[in-house]
Chain A
Amino acid sequence: FILMLSLTLGTMITITSNHWVTAWAGLEINTLAIIPLISKSHHPRAIEAATKYFLTQATASALMLFSSMTNAWSSGQWDITQLTNPPSCLLLTAAIAIKLGLTPFHFWFPEVLQGSSLTTALLLSTAMKFPPTTILLLTSHSLNPTLLSTMAIMSIALGGWMGLNQTQTRKILAFSSISHLGWMTIIITYNPKLTLLTFYLYSLMTTSIFLSMNSTNTLKLSTLMTSWTKAPMLNTTLMLTLLSLAGLPPLTGFLPKWLIIQELTKQEMTTTATIISMLSLLGLFFYLRLTYCSTITLPPNSPNKMKQWSIKKPVNTLTPTL
């Protein structure tokens, strides 16, 4: 309980800060609070995930502090919204990219999600992304657009490509998170409000997926295939949510993609818009494959795990219908 409180505290401190040091402090509190949550189950893989998370986030925080210090050295003030020194801007972009898990700094993300339990993975991919995104929003006018767009396009590409034949559900969600982050960051220098919208919708959809997977305890694809016997309603809503994450038109997930493409074309970046829509097809492929596994084909197998015979907690079936 104390850890949850520290997480909220850290997020609040970062969001409401206008001095670099408070922002950094909030991020550090978040990192430190979630480390025990990741390594709660004393499994070597969990401890490995916690170590990797700590190392990457600590490096990112240090880089961020360094960039704010160089900015303070050159401009004499620590205000977050006034980042004027170009090297600091570059460093800050890199630091936030490491924190969020954008390519080429994404290597830690699937392993960390795989090593943690499903609820902790949910926290890692939604709540822990919030403070760095707010920092990006506050500094959006002074970020380096070329670097950001390159990283965003690479994230979308890589998230789609690497997610293609994963069999572990947490890793699949990690790669989907990476590609959504790419969508979020590509529009941030032009219209930060769209980034916020994408982030909110993405966290809502991911929360519902993680919670539905948590109630059926699906850690791998084969468990997903057999969950239709246990909670058929949950399975259909899971399918809809997955397709929404993929960005298919009548579902909510299409909205941020449409608005982002519209904004990019307004900014004369049509080729970028085309490229990212093509790349998100890769992502669509594996989401479709997940839904194919879980709902469209009905495998005749029965699940082996005893845990699945009873639903762990009452499941919120309303959120997936959003």
Chain B
Amino acid sequence: MALAATLLHNAYFCGRCCRHKALQPLLGPLLSDSLSKSYSSYRRPGSQPEKKTTWQNVDLSFKKSIEVLKTQLGMLKKETEDHLAGPEGQSLTHYMLEQTRVVWEFRSQEDLNKWVISSDVEIGGKSEVYLKLGRNNQTALLYGTLNTEVPRDGETKYSGYCSMRAKPLVGSFARKKYYDWSNFNSLYLRVRGDGRPWMVNIYTDPYFSHQKDDLYNYFMFTRGGPYWEEIKIPFSKFFLSSRGRVQDDQHPIWLDKISTVGFTIGDKVNGPFQLEIDFIGLLNDRAHTEEFAYETYEKNPPL
């Protein structure tokens, strides 16, 4: 079941161009690695046809550019102040004593805008996924219907996945910024699911393009009840996969350059699903001593 979920990731990355319409025009030229275009001119049934080319979207008004420049310079100033203050913008004592940190909360629409949802509609499937604020604006509700009907294009074998992924951090002048989670060793999620198994994916900084599909995954099993669950997943349990295939050469995840975190459901069960997330945080579990859960033997022992 989980293996099928990983195999579905094959097509997950192909539809990444769909989510760029949700991003600001400033980030468009930077992140428009329209993968579906670069592989072939065949447009998958789920993606919208390109009505306007990227260069036609450019807005050359002077006033707007001055405003943009002002916001970017403001961000740069803030970054410099953060640099002076200490690691991650907080003072060193704060960094030293920190044991928990909440990274993503869902209290308003702009918190929701930091996430992108996608499903197998990109490859022509029929699953639906929606993200909205839960009751009293305290949680985020990811809900929809999973449909495992395979799109008839002759090359897809499995279908039926939905996912939610955080947008990467962007610094001033559209530079990439990363999270530094080296002080922590577990992911702490407060969720209320419906009993379906989810997969948590962490994406780290890919400097060279051959690494851009590297993803660290682990499973999150939810209970169905009306009670909130606090799931702690240590980072030592995440295994490496690339484009959905689990890699042979496993290594522990390095936490000093994390880009995004995502949740995926793809358990080959037709039907509705629901996941309510209160917050996503980090924990430095002092009792956790495992460094890496897989392949702890020496791979090339000296003779």
Q: Mark A209-236, 1 if CB is under 8 A from B, else 0.
A: 0000000000011100100000000000
A302 within 8 A of B: yes
State in angstroms the CA–CA spacing of A149 and B5 once bound together: 58
Query: Nearest CB to that of B184 among chain A residues?
Result: A222
The verdict on B92 contacting chain A, using a C-beta distance below 8 Å, is yes
The residues in B between 163 and 191 inclusive whose CB is less than 8 angstroms from any CB of A are 180, 182-183, 185
In the complex, what distance in Å separates the CA atom of A305 from the CA atom of B285? 12
Residues of A within 8 A of B185 (CB): 304
Q: What's the minimum C-beta distance from A84 to chain B, rounded to whole angstroms? A: 41
Question: What is the CA–CA distance of A222 and B185 in the complex, to the nearest angstrom?
Answer: 12
Given contacts A41-B251, A220-B256, contact A165 B87 (CB under 8 A): yes
> With A225-B96, A306-B289 in contact, is A43–B208 under 8 Å at CB?
no
Say if the beta carbon of B278 comes within 8 Å of chain A. Answer: no
Residues of A within 8 Å of B82, CB to CB, are 165
Number of chain B residues whose Cβ lies closer than 8 Å to a Cβ of chain A: 29
Selected contact of A222 from candidates B84, B96, B206, B285, CB within 8 Å: B96
Most A CB atoms within 10 A — which of B92, B180, B206, B286?
B92
Of the A-B pairs whose beta carbons lie under 8 Å apart in the complex, a sample of 25, sorted by A's number, is: A42-B251, A44-B211, A44-B251, A45-B254, A48-B211, A52-B207, A111-B207, A161-B83, A164-B83, A165-B83, A165-B86, A165-B87, A166-B87, A167-B95, A168-B256, A220-B182, A220-B183, A221-B87, A292-B92, A293-B96, A304-B185, A304-B285, A304-B286, A305-B289, A306-B291
Q: Confirm or deny: A19 has a beta carbon within 8 angstroms of a beta carbon on chain B.
A: no
Chain A: interface residue count, which band?
20 to 34
- Output the nearest chain A residue to B211 by Cβ-Cβ distance: A44
Mask: chain A, 157-175; 1 = CB below 8 Å from B; 0 = not: 0000100111110000000
A277-311 interface (Cβ within 8 A of B): 289, 292-293, 297, 299, 301-302, 304-307
Residue B153 CB within 8 A of the other chain: no
Residues of B within 8 A of A222 (CB): 96, 182-183
Asked if B52 lies at the interface with its beta carbon under 8 angstroms from chain A, I say no
Q: Is residue A75 contacting chain B, with contact meaning CB distance below 8 A?
A: no
Known: A45-B254, A299-B97, A304-B288. 6 other contacts (CB 8 A): A44-B206, A48-B211, A167-B180, A220-B256, A222-B182, A302-B286
- For B289, the chain A residues whose CB sits under 8 A away are 304-306
A168 touches B207 (CB 8 A): no
* Cα distance A289–B93 in the bound complex, in angstroms: 10
Chain B residue contacts of A293, Cβ below 8 A: 92, 96
Contact B251 A168 (CB under 8 A): no
Given the interface pairs A44-B211, A302-B286, A304-B288, the reply to whether A167 lies near B256 with Cβ below 8 Å is yes
Closest 7 CB pairs of A and B: A165-B87, A220-B182, A43-B251, A167-B87, A48-B207, A42-B249, A44-B211
